Chain A
Amino acid sequence: MWQTLQAALTPYILSPLTVLLCLLAAGGWVLGARRLARQGRAPSVWRTLSFFTGLLLCYAVIHTQFDYYARYMFFMHRIQHLVLHHLGAFLIALANPLPVLAAVAGGRRFPRLARVFAPLRRVLFDPVVATVLFVGLIFFWLWPSVHFEAMLSLRLYEVMNWSMLIDGVIFWLVILDPRDPRQARTSGFGVRFLMLMAALFPQILLGAYITFSEPGLYDIYAICGRAWPLNPATDQVLGGVLTWIPPAMMTILGALVVLRYYLRHEEQRHEEQGD
């Protein structure tokens, strides 16, 4: 039992970068949460749970034996990206991690660093840029010739996975920012709905295209061999459906969270006006 678990958790290809980034994220949260707790502003258990579940899910799909199957089965690769770009990234962003991670710095300020990163953040968190990047990256890495290169080159494969995770977190951070947009000057709730809708339809179209295309769209899996003898057509249909339906469901889930934030802020405003 222990041996099976150990074998399953052993990374297929060890990536020091993945270990380092995941440890930094986990350590950052623990340290930041502790600092906030001292000020009486500790993140809730739910936020902590959401952050670590998201992080662990992402780690599991890129740095355990799951990664082996994701490299050699198209539909498993789609599950991997579903977790990185949607589910895991969604949970990380839902935890509202930026204030906690920023608390790591304590009272120190880094004006030079802020000057460099502020414009970058403004661009990446812009609703149009975030949406175009979110959809664009899915299409880019699924472009058959690009996909071929990424699955063949270890370095490109790592770039692909990390770009999906980072981009997913940025997109969902914009969508799931819990602050009142009028006070925090973030994207309004209406804009976020539009972002979700704009991201929803291209994903549905792409998923449907892959599902109904002739088998062999991603022949890298035939060339490199599959992890077990699965009919290539079945692999592609499963991968297509996984690109199509679960991401669409995550988008709806995102819209529900946005709706909840909207109603909460409206309620607060009415209460304030009532006072």
Chain B
Amino acid sequence: MRLTGLLVAVCTVLLVGCGESRVDFHGKDITGVMEDLSFTLTSENGNTVSEEIVEDKAVVLFFGYTHCPDFCPMTLTLLAQAMNTLSEQEREQLRVLFVSVDPERDTPALLKEYTAYFGPEVIGLTGDKDQLDDITKRYRTAYGYGDKDEDGNYEVSHGLAMYGFDKSGKVRLLMRNDQPVEQVADDLKALTDL
């Protein structure tokens, strides 16, 4: 009898978790799997910035580069479409951080021009190798460069995940860019509600 009681207690603790409010995301719930949002990077205006620029906002973090032919524009378009279905109030509580892992080509000015296509909530960031290594390691993602062709163009490998953080900067969600717009919108809304 005592054993049953203990089992129930253990299961309850496991189910409830460590006091985090549970949300049913369409994407993958990664609460507690990674560290809180933290970075030192260069903003679109060329200033060194930290996570304080998105204080009290829900955040979607995504790694890419502006010369990306497919995944980055697709993912940012998906996010922009999802955000368009949200109310203005909800959008105000949300920021998308697009971190370029190609600082050689992605100058702050180019990033500013690029992110402007996808809406005012999208903020472009980049950094030197150490800064980028720091943030990519923190979120278990990697990047690398292919060989340059005759015109100096090269391919960049980067993760396709979108990481969702709640307003306190805690990591909550991992979205893939093959999720339908409605599902992404639901998840963004859920993030802002947390």
Contact = CB atoms under 8 A, between A and B. Distances in A.
B54 interface: no
Contact of A224 (B140, B146, B155): B140
Interface string A211-233: 00000000000111111111000
B159 A225 contact: yes
B157 A223 contact: no
A223 B33 CA distance: 15
Interface in B12-39: 30, 33
Contacts of A224: 140-142, 159, 161
Given A151-B140, A223-B161, A223-B176, A229 B33 contact: no
B158 interface: yes
A153 interface: yes
A224 B33 CA distance: 14
Interface residues of A, number: 18
B165 interface: no
Given A228-B145, A228-B146, A229-B145, A222 B140 contact: no
Contacts of A193: none
B160 A152 contact: no
Contact of B142 (A152, A153, A227): A227
Contacts, number: 52
A33 to B, nearest CB: 39
A262 interface: no
B173 to A, nearest CB: 12
Interface string B148-188: 00000001111111000000000000101000000000000
Interface in A131-164: 151-154
A227 B161 contact: no
Contact of A225 (B30, B160, B174): B160
Interface residues of B, number: 21
B140 A71 contact: yes
Given A223-B160, A224-B161, A225-B157, A71 B144 contact: no
Contacts of B143: 225
A230 to B, nearest CB: 7
B160 A227 contact: no
A68 B63 CA distance: 18
Interface string B105-122: 000000000000000000
Contact of B33 (A72, A153, A222, A226): A153
Contact of A72 (B142, B145, B161, B176): B142
A203 B27 CA distance: 33
B159 to A, nearest CB: 3
A225 B33 contact: no
Contacts of A153: 33
A178 B142 CA distance: 45
B141 A228 contact: no
A222 B160 contact: yes
A35 to B, nearest CB: 43
13 contacts: A71-B142, A72-B142, A154-B140, A223-B161, A224-B141, A224-B159, A225-B143, A225-B144, A226-B157, A228-B146, A228-B157, A229-B145, A230-B157
